[in-house]
Each structure stands twice: as structure tokens, then as C-alpha cells.
């Protein structure tokens, strides 16, 4: 190489870090204080308590949010009950009409929602812009279509909505999980009280504006904010007919205990420890993309994340080499930069949890790889991490980390891969990578998981039901099946 071309090389390497390309924050207006959204209006909490919500990429406080107490939960449930009794369940065409309106407004205000989602939750703007918000709108569109066609979804017998649904959603996909909960509940004729996660309430609160803009009747959607205590009050409230929860298996168990014997209908979407199985005939470069997307999408804060990579022994070496190279190209940093691939960890508590699992991985003797990336000095960030030489007995292979940490295990035969994949308490999702159709189908059938992706990963569609086996929960969200938990079928 000539001297001048090596100069070019040195300067171009720096220039190809791209220049900062931040998405403007100006599209969002964050109020200093948020109240509870009950019966179509903002109302201060009777408890008088508020808690802060922070931008995890800067640890800067964005706003304070009301903490709903027992009395507030009671008011929200009463409002939902009154709305249900005002004929919401029988106005089929009306429900379709409101759901369509909500979907259209979400599309119109997409940028605002995307920026707010990234600010409050730390996820890269590329994901909130290209995945979260469009999928949330798609969900409302999809269920708008079912609202006046329920007798086609369930043609035999009768189908009656439960009444008031209590919905508790997690912090990893705040707006999308709201859509997954609210759209089918409303389509089926229920009214709802929804509690967003403590660390990510802002897009749910912005959704109240959408509900108002859509002209949704008062009390059909009530949004109350708060921590675990608020959630516990909500699921225990005697006026609740149905509870839908997405979150950790621990909390899911508590909820199941608290509603047991009360007649309250329950669906749970809980944790996962998905196996992503790569056979030796897979399209390697595309499998690498799928693995990266499977575990580093949304910083690994995904219940269906492909956190265990099972790779056939004969291709382990080239695949790990490719993965290592690919991880070096991941751009970790400002969630609002359009070129960021991996954003901020959602909270300090979650960052600590991830760090301790990484320590367990090292202590258990697995080999760690992290690319040489410079993490921002403020905020909660964690480098993408891969452990090789992991065995089934390692904690990082058994427990859900909910962070950007991949555990790599190897296998020799399809039977062994299936046995390893199924050897978990969970059963939410799995991935199979092979060019051989017969093997893909046979392995998919043998895997005990609710969602199985073949030659792709983390693909979502409102028409496709999603949900788990075993400790990943029960009930399905999405598709015609997603209506079922919100209806009493006879």
C-alpha cells in the first residue's frame, strides 16, 4: 500500500464513525407533572404522592408522575365499570371506529411517540421509530377490524366481554405493550384500567391525549401510574373481572396467587430464555444478523430474546468469528442518535442485575467477549456481551438476564439441540436456522415454546398470536386468539 493510501485509511476510519445525527427532541412537550387519567380527565392522586421518571441515558429527571393509591385505583375501576355499563360492549361498529381513529392518530403522531419512547426508556430511536410505534399502530388497526366481527372470530355459542380489565405492562416496550393490551380488550367490548411501568410511564400518558383526540368515551380507558403497590391494589380490586399482566415471572406468580379463587380471569406473559439454534447448513451471514437482532435488539430487554445461542459444533468456529466481528460494529450510545444500535439500559436497578449476571458468568468459568466500545460517561449503559464455553448448568444459561448478554452453547445432533433448548423453566420463543425445510419443521415441532422463528428472529405481526409455555405464562396476545382472553365464550 502506498503512503498516501494509508493516510486515507487513517483519516477515513475516524470519519466513518459517522457524525452525530440526533433526532430532534423538539417534537415532544413533557409536562413537569403528570396526574392520573381517570374517566376522561386528569385528576390528582388522593395520596398526594408523586415519583420521578428519568432519562436513563443521562439520569436526568424528565417529570414527576402521580402515584395512585387504593382510593385512586377504586375511582379508576368505578369509572371503567360505569363506561362498560353505558353500552360500550354492544356498540360494535363504534368500537371499530374508535380503534381505527386511535391507529390513525398514532401514525400521525409517530415521531412524537418515538422520541418520547426513546427519551423515557433509553431504546434507540431507530427501533422506536421503525418497530415500536408502527407496530403499535398496526395492532390497533388489526383489532379495529375484529371489533364488529366477533361472531366470525368465534362462530359457535355466545361471546360476552368480561367487563373491566386490569392491565399491567412492562418497561421494555411501553407503547407497544399498551397496544397489545388495550386494542384486543376494547375490540372485545371490555373497558380497561392500565398501569404502565414505573420507569416508563410517559408514552402511556401521551396516549391519553390520543384517546381524547379520538373522542373515546370517558372511562373506557383509564391510565393510572405507580409502582408495585399500585399494581397490587389494582389486581386485588374486587371490581376487576380480568387481569392481564406482562412482566417478570416473580410478579406473575404473586398475581396468580392473589387472584386465585376470586373468579377473576387471568393471562400472564412472563419471562423467557429462548434458544436460537443454528445448524451447520444455515446461511451464516444472515444467521449472524438474526443472532445479533435476537439478543441486542432493545438492549436485550425482550422477553422473547434469543439469549441462548445453540450452535452446531462443526460451524462453531466460523460463526463465533463472524459474531465477534459483527459485535465490533455495534454502535452503543445516545438513544436519540439515528445511528445508534444499542441504547441505554432502562434503569440503574436493571443495570446492576445485568452486571451481576456478567460476574456470575465469569465466576462460573465461561469466556467473556465484549467489543472495545466507549460507553457514555453518564447514564446506564452496558457493552454488548457474549459468553462462550457456556454449559447448561451455568446460571447465565438458566436464568433470564433481560440484558445484552448472549450465552453460547454447542451441540452435535438435532436431538441434543432440542433437549437443550427445552431444558428450561421457560418456553416463550425459539429460533431455528437451517436451509433444510424438513429439519426446520421437525425441530420446530419438537420445541416447547409459544413462538418459533425459522431463519429469522424477533418478527412480530398483529395477526400472529404470541405467548408462552410453562413459566413463560399462559394466554395469547395478537391474532384472533388474542381476543379469547377478553371474552367469555359459551
Partner 1 sequence: MTSLPGTPGPGTQLTPRDARPAPPATPAPPATPARPATPALTETPSARAIPAAYRHLAGRSVDPVGIEQRAAALASRSVKTVAKDHALRTAISLLDLTTLEGSDTPGKVRIVSARARRPDPGDPSVPSVAAVCVYPSLVGEVAAALCGSPVKVASVATGFPSGQIPLAEKVREVEHAVAAGADEIDMVLNRGALLAGRYSEVVEEVQRVKAACDGRHLKVILETGELGGYEMIRRASLLAIAGGADFIKTSTGKLPRAATPPVVLCMLEVVRDVYGETGQMIGVKAAGGVRSAKQAIALLVLVVETLGPSWLTPDLFRIGASSLLNDLLMQVHRRESGVYQSPDGFPVD
**What's the min distance (Å) between Cβ of 309 and partner 1?**
16
- Could you say whether residue 374 binds partner 1 (CB under 8 A)? no
Q: E strands along 212-370, which residues?
A: 221-223, 242-246, 265-269, 275-278, 308-312, 367-369
Site for partner 1 in 327-346 (CB under 8 A): 329, 338-339
C-alpha cell, 91: 356498540
Q: How far is CA 194 from CA 80, 461, 478, 486, in A?
A: 11, 22, 18, 14
In the complex with partner 1, the residue whose CB is nearer, 260 or 419, is 419
Here's the x/- map for partner 1, 67-106, by CB under 8 A: it reads as ----------------------------------------
C-alpha cell, 134: 408502527
Exactly one of 60, 85, 363, 435 binds partner 1 (CB under 8 A); that residue is: 435
Q: How far apart are CA 174 and CA 200, in angstroms?
A: 6
The 8-class DSSP code of residue 483 comes to: G
Q: How far is CA 126 from CA 110, 129, 204, 303, 352, in A?
A: 12, 5, 20, 20, 25
Q: How far apart are CA 56 and CA 140, in angstroms?
A: 29
Q: Are strands 275-278 and 308-312 parallel, antiparallel or unpaired?
A: parallel
Q: How far apart are CA 458 and CA 467, in angstroms?
A: 13
**What's the min distance (Å) between Cβ of 336 and partner 1?**
12
Tell me which residue of 247, 221, 232 sits closest to 428, measured CA to CA: 247
**What's the min distance (Å) between Cβ of 196 and partner 1?**
28
- Could you say whether residue 441 binds partner 1 (CB under 8 A)? yes
Site for partner 1 in 285-324 (CB under 8 A): 285-287, 289-290, 312, 314, 318, 321
What SS3 state is found at 402?
A: coil
H-state helical runs in 369-461: 395-398, 414-422, 437-446
Instruction: Kindly indicate which of the ranges 46-54, 140-148, 170-178, 279-287 contains the residues binding partner 1, using the contact rule CB under 8 A.
Output: 279-287
Q: Residue 385 pairs with which residues in a beta bridge? A: 405
- Could you say whether residue 445 binds partner 1 (CB under 8 A)? yes
In the complex with partner 1, the residue whose CB is nearer, 256 or 442, is 442
Q: How far apart are CA 273 and CA 478, in angstroms?
A: 21
- Could you say whether residue 24 binds partner 1 (CB under 8 A)? no
Q: At what angle do helices 437-446 and 414-422 cross, to 10 degrees?
A: 30
Catalytic residues: 269, 303
Sort residue 478 into left (φ over 0), alpha (ψ -120 to 50) or beta. Answer: left
Please answer whether residues 318 and 310 qualify as being in contact, where contact means their C-beta atoms are separated by less than 8 angstroms.
no
- Could you say whether residue 135 binds partner 1 (CB under 8 A)? no
Handedness of CA 310, 315, 317, 318 (dihedral sign): negative
- Could you say whether residue 49 binds partner 1 (CB under 8 A)? no
Tally: H helices and E strands in the chain: 17, 20
- Could you say whether residue 8 binds partner 1 (CB under 8 A)? yes
Exactly one of 12, 24, 29, 393 binds partner 1 (CB under 8 A); that residue is: 12
Here's the x/- map for partner 1, 377-416, by CB under 8 A: it reads as -----------------------------------xxxxx
**What's the min distance (Å) between Cβ of 459 and partner 1?**
10
In the complex with partner 1, the residue whose CB is nearer, 343 or 475, is 343
Instruction: Kindly indicate which of the ranges 15-23, 85-93, 180-188, 474-482 contains the residues binding partner 1, using the contact rule CB under 8 A.
Output: 15-23
Instruction: Kindly indicate which of the ranges 53-61, 276-284, 379-387, 397-405 contains the residues binding partner 1, using the contact rule CB under 8 A.
Output: 276-284
- Could you say whether residue 9 binds partner 1 (CB under 8 A)? yes
Instruction: Kindly indicate which of the ranges 4-12, 35-43, 193-201, 226-234 contains the residues binding partner 1, using the contact rule CB under 8 A.
Output: 4-12
Instruction: Kindly indicate which of the ranges 226-234, 249-257, 282-290, 470-478 contains the residues binding partner 1, using the contact rule CB under 8 A.
Output: 282-290
What SS3 state is found at 270?
A: coil
Residues at the contact surface with partner 1, assessed by CB under 8 A: 1, 5, 8-9, 11-13, 15-19, 21, 126, 130, 280-287, 289-290, 312, 314, 318, 321, 329, 338-339, 412-416, 418-419, 435-436, 438-439, 441-443, 445-446, 455-456
Amino acid at each position: 500500500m502506498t503512503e498516501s493510501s494509508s493516510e486515507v485509511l487513517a483519516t477515513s476510519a475516524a470519519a466513518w464513525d459517522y457524525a452525530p445525527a440526533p433526532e430532534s427532541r423538539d417534537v415532544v412537550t413533557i409536562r413537569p407533572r403528570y396526574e392520573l387519567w381517570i374517566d376522561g380527565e386528569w385528576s390528582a392522586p388522593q395520596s398526594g404522592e408523586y415519583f420521578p421518571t428519568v432519562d436513563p441515558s443521562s439520569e436526568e429527571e424528565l417529570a414527576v408522575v402521580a402515584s395512585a393509591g387504593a382510593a385512586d385505583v377504586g375511582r379508576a375501576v368505578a369509572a371503567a365499570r360505569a363506561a362498560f355499563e353505558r353500552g360500550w360492549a354492544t356498540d360494535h361498529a363504534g368500537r371499530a371506529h374508535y380503534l381505527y381513529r386511535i391507529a390513525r392518530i398514532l401514525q400521525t403522531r409517530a415521531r412524537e411517540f418515538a422520541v418520547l419512547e426513546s427519551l423515557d426508556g433509553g431504546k434507540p430511536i431507530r427501533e422506536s421509530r421503525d418497530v415500536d410505534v408502527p407496530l403499535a399502530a398496526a395492532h390497533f388497526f388489526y383489532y379495529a377490524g375484529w371489533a364488529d366481527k366477533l361472531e366470525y372470530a368465534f362462530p359457535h355459542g355466545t361471546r360476552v366481554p368480561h367487563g373491566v380489565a386490569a392491565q399491567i405492562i412492562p418497561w421494555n416496550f411501553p407503547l407497544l405493550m399498551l397496544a397489545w393490551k388495550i386494542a384486543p380488550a376494547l375490540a372485545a367490548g371490555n373497558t380497561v384500567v392500565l398501569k404502565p411501568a414505573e420507569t416508563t410511564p410517559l408514552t402511556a400518558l401521551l396516549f391519553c391525549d390520543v384517546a381524547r383526540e379520538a373522542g373515546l368515551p370517558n372511562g373506557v380507558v383509564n391510565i393510572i401510574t405507580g409502582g408495585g403497590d399500585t399494581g397490587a391494589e389494582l389486581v386485588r380490586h374486587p371490581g376487576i373481572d380480568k387481569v392481564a399482566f406482562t412482566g417478570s415471572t416473580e410478579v406473575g406468580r404473586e398475581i396468580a396467587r392473589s387472584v386465585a379463587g376470586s373468579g377473576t380471569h387471568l393471562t400472564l406473559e412472563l419471562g423467557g430464555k429462548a434458544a436460537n439454534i443454528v445448524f451447520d447448513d444455515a446461511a451464516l451471514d444472515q444467521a449472524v444478523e438474526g443472532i445479533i437482532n435476537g439478543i441486542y435488539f432493545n438492549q436485550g430487554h425482550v422477553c422473547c430474546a434469543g439469549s441462548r445461542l445453540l450452535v452446531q459444533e462443526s460451524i462453531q468456529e466460523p460463526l463465533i468469528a463472524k459474531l465477534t466481528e459483527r459485535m465490533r460494529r455495534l454502535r452503543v450510545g445516545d438513544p436519540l442518535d439515528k445511528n445508534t444500535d444499542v441504547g441505554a439500559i432502562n434503569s440503574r436497578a436493571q443495570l446492576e442485575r445485568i452486571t451481576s449476571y456478567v460476574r456470575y458468568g465469569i465466576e462460573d468459568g465461561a469466556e467473556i467477549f465484549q467489543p472495545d466500545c466507549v460507553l457514555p460517561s453518564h447514564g446506564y449503559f452496558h457493552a454488548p456481551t457474549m459468553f462462550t464455553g457456556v454449559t447448561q448448568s451455568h446460571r447465565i444459561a438458566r436464568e433470564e438476564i433481560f440484558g445484552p448478554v448472549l450465552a453460547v452453547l454447542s451441540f452435535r445432533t438435532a436431538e441434543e439441540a432440542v433437549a437443550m433448548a427445552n431444558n428450561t423453566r421457560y418456553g416463550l420463543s425459539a429460533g431455528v436456522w437451517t436451509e433444510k425445510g424438513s429439519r426446520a419443521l421437525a425441530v420446530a415441532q419438537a420445541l416447547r415454546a409459544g413462538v418459533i422463528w425459522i431463519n429469522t428472529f424477533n418478527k412480530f405481526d398483529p395477526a400472529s398470536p404470541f405467548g408462552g409455555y410453562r413459566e413463560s405464562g399462559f394466554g395469547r396476545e395478537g391474532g384472533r386468539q388474542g381476543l379469547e382472553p377478553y371474552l367469555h365464550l359459551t
